[in-house]
Amino acid sequence: MKDATNRPPPLLPLAALDALWFQVAGTLCNLRCRHCFISCAPDNHTFGFMTLTQVRQHLAESVALGVREYYFTGGEPFLNPDIFEMLAAALALGPATVLTNATRFTPANVARLAALRDASSYSLELRVSLDGFTAETNDPIRGPGTFDQAMRGVELLAGAGFLPIITAMRSWDPQQDEAVLAGFREQLTAAGCSRVRLKLLPALRLGAEAKRDHGYGEDEFLTEEMLMGYDPRQLLCHNSRIVSDRGVHVCPILIDQPAGWLGATLAEGLQPARLSHPACTTCYAYGAICSNAGGLGLETARPPGNLPS
């Protein structure tokens, strides 16, 4: 793929493999969100579940590379029957974060998660996607009944002592940020969250989201000039890679794009990233939106004292 001026896309070498992601649920999800950038659904078999053997093998390889932390995503990771064993294997080596829609939690599996958390000295982070603080705003995007299901999941997590990070794609006018965040804070506090941790994400105009709103324009590409004087440490692909049941890809965003494919093995996956996709312009503008830090903002609980205006 070339940009409008027909020059090859900028290449970004992998500085070091700090974070290793696992597409553990492939593109399979119990939901069918209208903004899902890889169009996950119960019947999207583009990528399948990873096996425990695959995950163990990549974890073993990651140690020699000095990986600092692990992320588990999908689809919905908790659909994968081996997710608990996968997390146990990861938490023996380093911190783990799971990105979930929180609709599959039961008292029994949350207790199992808590036991995994308590057995490790590393952090186990749960990141819950929610796209509004009411069923009226969330459900049109994530599906009927999903708000109540996810809030029940959040309640179970909070009850087990987890401090879930709630992520929301900003589908509203940025001017409404304060009102929306206040709504989220109130709901999450009511659900038992003692520390409200919120992360807003910009829209990635890919997959289902491209149909819901609009896709990228033909002229939206990164150029070498744009990267001059830019700190590439803000980009996820500068220090991360993702493995799926098929091999290694540059990042979770481009997992189902030809431009994101790097090879069958982790060794091949260490080659530079080609920043050829229009979605790269979103990362360029907002930074490493996929990692726990970064994004449009991580709003925390308000200890005594309010933000003076």
Q: Which residues bind ligand SF4 (CB under 6 A)?
A: 29, 31-33, 36, 40, 74-76, 101, 129, 235-237, 250-251, 253-254, 273, 275, 277, 279-280, 283
Give min distance, CB of 112 to ligand SF4, in A: 21
What Rg do the C-alpha atoms of the chain give, in angstroms?
19
Helix (H/G/I), strand (E/B), else coil: 239 = coil
Give min distance, CB of 73 to other proteins, in A: 17
Number of residues that bind other proteins (CB under 8 A): 40
Q: Which stretch binds other proteins (CB under 8 A): 3-11, 65-73, 98-106, 130-138?
A: 65-73
Q: What one-character DSSP code corresponds to residue 192?
A: T
Return all residues near 67 (Cβ < 8 A) that are at least 6 apart: 17, 18, 19, 20, 93, 94
Residues in 229-248 that interact with other proteins by CB under 8 A = 233
Give min distance, CB of 300 to other proteins, in A: 5
The encoded tokens of residue 96 equal 């783990």
Can you name the residues that pair with 99 across neighbouring β-strands?
Answer: 127
Sole binder of other proteins in the list 125, 131, 155, 256 (CB under 8 A): 125
- The verdict on 114 binding other proteins (CB under 8 A) reads no
Q: Where are the beta strands (DSSP E) in 192-256?
A: 197-201, 240-243, 248-249
Give min distance, CB of 61 to ligand SF4, in A: 21
Task: Give DSSP secondary structure letters for 9-46.
Answer: PPEE------EEEEETTTTB-S---TT-TT--BTT--S
Sole binder of other proteins in the list 25, 29, 31, 69 (CB under 8 A): 69
Among the listed residues 74, 184, 191, the one whose alpha carbon sits nearest the alpha carbon of residue 130: 184
Question: In the β-sheet with 124-129, what is the strand arrangement from edge to edge?
Answer: 261-263, 248-249, 240-243, 19-23, 69-73, 96-100, 124-129, 165-169, 197-201, 297-299
- The verdict on 18 binding other proteins (CB under 8 A) reads yes
C-alpha distances out from residue 239 to 94, 160, 260, 309, Å: 16, 32, 15, 37
Q: Cβ atoms within 10 A of the Cβ of 123, count?
A: 14
Q: Which stretch binds other proteins (CB under 8 A): 24-32, 116-124, 148-156, 274-282?
A: 116-124
- The verdict on 2 binding other proteins (CB under 8 A) reads no
Binding mask 143-182 for other proteins (x = CB under 8 A): ------------------xxx-------------------
Residue 308, binding choice from other proteins, ligand SF4, none, Cβ under 5 to 8 Å by partner class? other proteins
Among the listed residues 4, 8, 12, 1, the one whose alpha carbon sits nearest the alpha carbon of residue 271: 12
- The verdict on 93 binding other proteins (CB under 8 A) reads yes
Give min distance, CB of 43 to ligand SF4, in A: 12
Query: Residues interacting with other proteins, by CB under 8 A?
Result: 16, 18, 62-69, 93-95, 121-125, 161-163, 195, 197, 233, 292-305, 307-308
